Each structure stands twice: as C-alpha cells, then as structure tokens.
Structure 1
Amino acid sequence: MSWLVTGGAGYIGAHVVRALAAAGLSPVVIDDLSSGHAGFVPAGVPFVHGTILNRGLVESTLREHDVDGVIHVAGFKYAGVSVQRPLHTYAQNVEGTRIVLEAMAAAGVTNIVFSSSAAVYGTPDVPLVTEDLPKRPASPYGESKLIGEWLIADQARATTDSDAPLRHTSLRYFNVVGSADPSVYDTSPHNLFPIVFEKLIAGETPRINGDDYDTPDGTNVRDYVHVGDIAAAHVVAAQRLAAGEPVEAAYNLGSQNGLSVKEIMDAMARVTGVSFTAEIGPRRPGDPDRIVATGELAARDLDWQMRYTVDEMVRTGWEARRAAPA
C-alpha cells in the first residue's frame, strides 16, 4: 500500500514519511523544497521534486506509484506572514488543495488525510477547544485551511453516490515541537522552539512577549504537541481510511492541559544546560491568554496520546538542532 505525502520533505511531513514506513506503508514524497529539505527524505523513499500546483505532475505521481491515498501536508504555514501575502497563501493552500483533489479524482485515488490547523478557530474565548466550536479564523492562513476542509468535504459529498467516493479526515493541530529523528528538525523562523534554540546557539537571550496575562504565571498558555505523536496520528488516520473504518470529519490533536511560555523557557534552560532568564517584552496584539484543545475524539479513534514530557520535547528538538550541519 502506497501513500503520497505532499510536503514530505518538510519538518512535519518528513516525520509522517518515517511513521508510514515504520508501519509498513510505502511513502512517496512530492515537495517543491520551498521550505522543506531534500535531505529530510529518507534514502529509498521515492521523491518527486515539484509543486502541487502542477496538476499533471501530481496526477502522474499518483498513477506511477499506484498510490492508495494522500496525506496532504504541503502548504504555506506562516500565519503572521499570510497577512502580508494573502494571495500567495491562497494559491498554495486553497488552489493547491483543489489541484490535489482534482488529480486524485482523475487517478481514482479516494483517501485523503488533510493536515489542517488550530488556526481555523481564531482566538476562541473558551478554556478548552472542541471540534464543534465555531470557526473564526483570524488570518488568511487560518481561512485557507478552513477552505481546504470545505473543499474536501464538498468533494466527498459530490462523490458519495459514485463508484469512487472520497473518504477523508482533517487533523487540526497546534504548536508542533521536538523531533522523533535526529536528522529532522524544525527550521521555521516563526516557531517558538527554533527561535529559542537559535538565540541560545548565538549566545543571545530569548524573549517572552508579555507576562501579565490571566494565567497562573502571567504568560500565554498554548498546546505544545510532539511531532512524533502528530505523525503517528496521521498514520492511524490513513490506516482507518484505507480499511473503510469510520472517521470523524475533523480531529483536534490537542494536549488537554497546555503549557505556558514560561514553562517552556524553564524547560529550555533546564534541558540545554544554558542558564538564562528570559527578557520580558510587550504583548503582541491579539494574543489570547490561553488556547488549549481537547484530544478526546482523536484518542478514541486515532490512538492519540501525549507520549512526551515537556523536557523530552525540548531535549529531542535541541539534539536534532545541534546535530544539524553547520
């Protein structure tokens, strides 16, 4: 059984590829390397260098490798930057998803796991985010992910009575951290863990944006989930789709409890051995006090678990970053 991973040379996608291979499923990767790295693709895994905006390339890849399903991870993932680049964001995330679905229909591929985002919820004012919470995305990125979910659901409805009905699920996740393979690490310039790691490597002091929020220690509380757990959930979702087992339209891959930015900083100092006291900067506009999601549905259906402590999240991410080529 073969599965195409779009964006499979990226931080999350490369972990999904490894998890698929470990489960005995044959991964195939397509990636334009705009943010991914060819070196993240394991030896022996077929790698197609190209964009998902090329419908012919996607379709030929699906046919050539006799693909059974798609795990659609590729996309432009920077919420803040999407405000300045909405057209680019929509082209990559909305048009890209439409083209993937079109190529799947032409090639007769009927299973898709969509990597969505907690950004579809915007800034909810409830203590625990559930899947049925109203969707109020606050950025073009969040909007594009929600539209991607709509596209997939619409295509599934349109093919319900056909010979090849589309089966699908969307996985909404939050702050993905750590590493499950020392050769793969987060290279995003916008995520907290790599920002802190680069500061520490450069001998600089990390900063916390605001310490006067309505939380126990005054800093934002967020879901931080390990990339190995995220990858494992994608594989179980793929297996359930391929087996014809029931799945929900969407699942939150949430931690249930969350961690504060100060707790992350304390773990960073503790695990890396680099002693520091984070600088306190001003709040960022629009940052809510707390966004944490339940993972109950995913635990029920996708064997979703938080298998890593905060120290293990930091340790695995730090070790992978330190092992990276200079």
Structure 2
Amino acid sequence: MLQTLPKPPLTLRLCEPRGFCAGVDRAIQIVVLALKKYGAPVYVRHEIVHNRYVVEGLRNLGAVFVKELDQIPDDGKPVVFSAHGVPKSVPAEAQRRELLYLDATCPLVSKVHKQAMLHVKRGRHVLLIGHAGHPEVVGTMGQLAEGTVTLIESEADVAAYEPADREALGFVTQTTLSVDDTAGIVAALQAKFPALAAPSSDSICYATTNRQEAVRVASPEADLFLIVGAPNSSNSMRLVEVAKRAGAKEAVLVQRGAEIPFDRLKGGDVLAMSAGASAPEIIVDEIVDALRERFDLRIELVRTAEETENFPVVRALRETPLEPADMAFVNGAR
C-alpha cells in the first residue's frame, strides 16, 4: 500500500483588513444596480476598479467598458464613471450629449477634489502629490483650471520646483500612495516652503493606511509576501513596496492562484499575504486553497484595524434592491 507523504508545514500570516474597501464596494454595486434597473448594456468609462476579475465579471453581466464617451452610442443607456474620478470635462460632455451618467467616484477621492478646489478658492497654487497618468491624478487635476496645479511625484521634484509665489501654496495627495513616501515628500515641501497649506484632513484614504499598516506588521522575517492585486492598481503596488521595506525577504504581486511562486516556498517558511483594495476575497480564498493542497497550512491572522465604513450608492439607484445573489457578486463570489 502506498503511503501518503506528510505535507511540509507552512505558516501563513493573513492580513486584516485586506481587499475591497468601501469605495470599491460602492462602485461595483453601482454597476450591478444600474444593470438591474436599466438592463444591459450599461457603459463604464475606464475600468470601474483596477481588477481584471471584477471587470470580467461585470462584463459577463452586461457592462461595456469604454475608454472615452465618444465610444458610447446614443441609445439611452447609462454610463458609469469609475471609482478613480474624472475631470470636470467628462460630465460636462455627458450633459452636452444628454447622456444619463452615474458617478461612482469614491467619496474620499471627491473629498480630495474639494480640498484642491478650496486651495484655489483661497488663492493658492495646488501641489498634487501623486503618480503621473494615474486615473485619479488625471481626474483631480481635471477639477482645476490650467496653470493652477502642479504634479509632484518625488522629493527630486520638490527640489526642482520653483513657484511664482512661495507664500501661496497648498497641497493634496492621491489617495492610494505609500504613507511613508508621501510623508517624505510632504516634509521636503514644508522644509522648502514653510507657508505651505495642508488640506483640512489627510488625503490618503483610511483603507490605504490600514492595509499598509497590516502589511508592515506582518512583514518582519516573512520569507515571502504575496500581495493580491493588479499591476495597474496603485494601492496594490504600494503594498508590495511596504512589505519589502518592512522586512519581508521577498514580496510579489499575484492576480490569481495560478501565479503563486511555489518555487520560492519550502517547508517551514513563513508566508504573509494581503490584498489590495480592489481585489475580491474570492481570489484570497483561491490562493489559500492552492496553498493547502501543497502544505500543512497554519494560518495566523494579523489584524491591525476594523473597518466599518459604508458609502451609499448614488441617489438614482437607492430604490433598486440588491438580492442575495447580487451581494454575492459584489463581495467577490461568482
């Protein structure tokens, strides 16, 4: 009789909180509810959130993803703006064409828009700390008139920047940045421009901060850190950087269980795992199942915060009920 060899032991440090934040959950709900209320197709400008699994799931339900509004026919169907926010020119064009639009911009991104506009209202030039080309940065800069905002990506940018008026500056940040990197840039700005005005509250969102803190706690002496997320997800990529800085020997981004680098794992290792704010929990479950097939898995939860935030969907959809099956999809199970 063949004997089954015992599986090698593996410790998994599983971070909490992880995965969907309230802004992502709200954005997905908006698309699902729009499909229920208006029927397919529902158009979505850009990826609703940066996750291929979620986008493909919504596409299977009848969502049609477009790059710009000129790809949408005049068929009376609604268009949803992504959670990252859009420049003012986008809803203006939708109104001009009399398109029905539903804005899924995360309320915390909208808060940054308001903070930036308040700086301008008070006569300040806005310094936006963020990454060039990211949809959120494009959307935030698009709230302001040309010449009233400058993008700052690094401390080197701070050193090179010379404003017209050093006494009339204010800053805001992209919501999904590395807390540590942003602190360094802000410190450099404040040292160079002592009159720099800060936003009324922190621009980096609670979910970004919470996920980075859990990763920071779980990283020391971890042999490998898996971050579940997409390469174009800023908050997921920042988690990889945080893990490396905080003491993980290696940190990699994976989108599905098939991407687990098993060649870097051996019995007795400590593996840590978290998920970016747009990664559904079902992918975390998929990875845990794949690990259990090969290892005698011992899970340690690393919980650093409890999230209770809930953002209501846009008013036009609040009377449309979500059935249990809809909620299952919204929570990442399909």
- TM-score by length of structure 2 reads 0.30
Greater relative CO, 1 or 2 (CA 8 Å, sep 6+): 2
Greater gyration radius: 2
